[in-house]
């Protein structure tokens, strides 16, 4: 696979290692554990450390306070599957076959993870990492795109896009809960189930010599907004005047925070926290239909305005990241791939689009906004019609469509950070340059299929039968 659009190429060789607390030149521990926590639809402003006044998230806040908090952090898309594809491949989602949401119904599924894409766990296995996914996958419902087939040694979680109930774990009448390839029916709230599995995994890893990569991907706070009853009651009692809709989301987020705290406590208890890079991010902006808080930014999930793609992001790594750091360096989810690879000493030998942020984590000067970056989403329905819509940004200049049928808008985020007033664009060099670069990207993505041959054949047969 060749990606030809403004590469941050990261090439090198793999190393083998076992876990150790020793420190190399540059004050970096060798082969640290990596815990990557991904929330689902958590808005930029829906943490207390991010300015929310009606919720309390002390455990997630801890990650941000005891490490570095990124204030200029973005998902690669405004919805789930594309963002997860970027996270797992280090590439733009449409360049690995996932421009939109992968769903159960093939006629409403808008992505197919490229068989040519090298996923992050495959890279880490070169350095003898044990790799585990616990929680939501959302990059394929069947072979060959199941987690164990794409680099994860262990998978305890949910294959699909969303659960229709946090307790029954059903989607479109399908049970997508798995332990590796085995269908399971665990009892309880999904957030607690995933946490329990994570604790069991961490306890097993205490006895192992090799480091681990744990990708802990919660469904929360994605709808349905279904917190445990006692958590909802606590919020309503504490927050006078809060609406029922907002109370439900706050309770679901606080319940998620409590479960993150259980994971941190286990790392403390075992001592693993002393040699673990902990990353917390969201997959896209919060859903405004459920009273999410995206800070002062316009829009929410589904929008390519900043409210739909700007995300909370923080990293904690004892004795490496100085506590209390705040960085306005540009971060995209696809940057986590090369960052984690460099931390693990396992550099990739194929082109990717993300850049390593390790210098930022070490407190060194780093420029990360001297690149044009793209955001995209393909979607069906009357508003989108199966087409794809894009945004592109270079430094403070941004162009976007918010549906495929809209005229392109042009913003200067320095003068208008909340995207209230589109600028004139005719003859403006900055607009023209961005538009040309976006066009080049779209041209490159045209070579990448987002349906498998089997899916296309099945859709053709279905259509002919009608």
Q: What is the pLDDT of residues 280-317, one digit of tens each?
A: 999 999 999 999 999 999 999 999 999 999 999 999 99
Q: Are strands 73-74 and 331-332 parallel, antiparallel or unpaired?
A: parallel
Asked if 202 and 169 touch (Cβ cutoff 8 Å), the reply is: no
Asked if 3 and 92 touch (Cβ cutoff 8 Å), the reply is: yes
| Confidence band of 27 (pLDDT split at 50, 70, 90) | low
State pLDDT tens for residues 273-282. 999 999 999 9
Q: For the CA atoms of 130, 134, 138, 144, what is the dihedral angle to 10 degrees?
A: 40
**Section 104-122 average pLDDT:** 97
| Confidence band of 457 (pLDDT split at 50, 70, 90) | confident
- What Cα–Cα distance (Å) separates residue 358 from each residue in 13, 156, 257, 368? 17, 29, 26, 11
Spell out the alpha helix ranges (H) of 206-243.
229-238
Give residue for tokens 């001592």.
271
Quote the pLDDT of residue 459.
74
Assign domain 372-465 to its CATH architecture: 2-Layer Sandwich (3.30)
Share of the chain above pLDDT 70, in %: 93
Question: Is pLDDT at 154 greater than 80 in this prediction?
Answer: yes
Q: Report the C-alpha gap between 311 and 70 in whole angstroms.
A: 9
Per domain, the residue ranges of the chain are 23-361, 372-465
CATH node for 23-361: 3.40.720.10
**Section 16-26 average pLDDT:** 40
Quote the pLDDT of residue 3.
45
Say if 23-361 and 372-465 have the same CATH topology: no
Report field, pTM of the whole predicted structure over 0.85: yes
């Amino acid at each position: 696979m060749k990606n030809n659009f403004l590469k941050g190429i990261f090439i090198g060789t793999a190393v083998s290692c076992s876990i150790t607390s020793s420190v190399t030149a540059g004050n970096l521990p060798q082969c640290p554990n990596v815990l990557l926590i991904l929330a689902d639809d958590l808005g930029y402003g829906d943490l207390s450390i991010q300015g929310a006044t009606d919720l309390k998230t002390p455990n997630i806040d801890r990650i941000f306070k005891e490490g570095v908090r990124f204030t200029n952090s973005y998902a690669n898309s405004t919805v789930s599957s594309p963002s997860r594809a970027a996270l797992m491949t280090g590439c733009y989602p449409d360049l690995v076959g996932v421009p939109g949401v992968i769903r159960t119904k093939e006629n409403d599924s808008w992505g197919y993870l490229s068989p040519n894409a090298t996923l992050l766990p495959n890279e880490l296995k070169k350095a003898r990492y044990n790799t585990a996914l616990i929680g939501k996958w959302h990059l394929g419902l069947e072979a060959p795109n199941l987690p164990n087939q794409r680099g994860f040694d262990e998978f305890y979680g949910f294959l699909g896009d969303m659960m229709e109930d946090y307790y029954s774990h059903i989607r479109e009448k399908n049970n997508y809960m798995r332990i590796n390839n085995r269908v399971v029916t665990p009892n309880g709230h999904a957030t607690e189930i995933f946490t329990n599995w994570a604790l069991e995994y961490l306890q097993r890893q205490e006895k192992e010599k090799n480091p681990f990569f744990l990708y802990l991907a919660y469904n929360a706070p994605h709808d349905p907004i279904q917190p445990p009853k006692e958590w909802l009651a606590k919020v309503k009692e504490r927050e006078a005047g809060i609406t029922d809709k907002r109370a439900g989301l706050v309770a679901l987020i606080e319940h998620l925070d409590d479960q993150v705290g259980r994971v941190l406590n286990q790392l403390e208890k075992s001592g693993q926290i002393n040699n673990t890079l902990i990353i917390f991010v969201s997959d896209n902006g919060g859903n405004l239909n459920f009273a999410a808080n995206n800070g002062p930014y316009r829009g929410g999930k589904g929008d390519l305005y900043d409210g739909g793609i700007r995300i909370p992001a923080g990293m904690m790594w004892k004795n490496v990241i100085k506590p209390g750091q705040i960085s306005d360096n540009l971060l995209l989810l696809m940057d986590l791939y090369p960052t984690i690879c460099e931390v693990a000493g396992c550099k990739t030998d194929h082109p990717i689009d993300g850049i390593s942020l390790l210098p930022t984590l070490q407190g060194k000067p780093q420029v990360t906004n001297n690149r044009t970056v793209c955001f995209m989403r393909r979607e069906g329905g009357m508003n989108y019609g199966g087409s794809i819509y894009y945004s592109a940004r270079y430094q403070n200049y941004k162009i976007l469509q918010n549906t495929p049928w809209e005229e392109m808008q042009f913003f200067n985020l320095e003068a208008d950070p909340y995207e209230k007033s589109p600028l004139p664009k005719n003859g403006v060099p900055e607009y023209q340059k961005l538009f040309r670069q976006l066009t080049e990207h779209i041209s490159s993505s045209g070579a990448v299929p987002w349906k498998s041959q089997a899916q296309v054949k099945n859709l053709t047969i279905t259509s002919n039968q009608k």
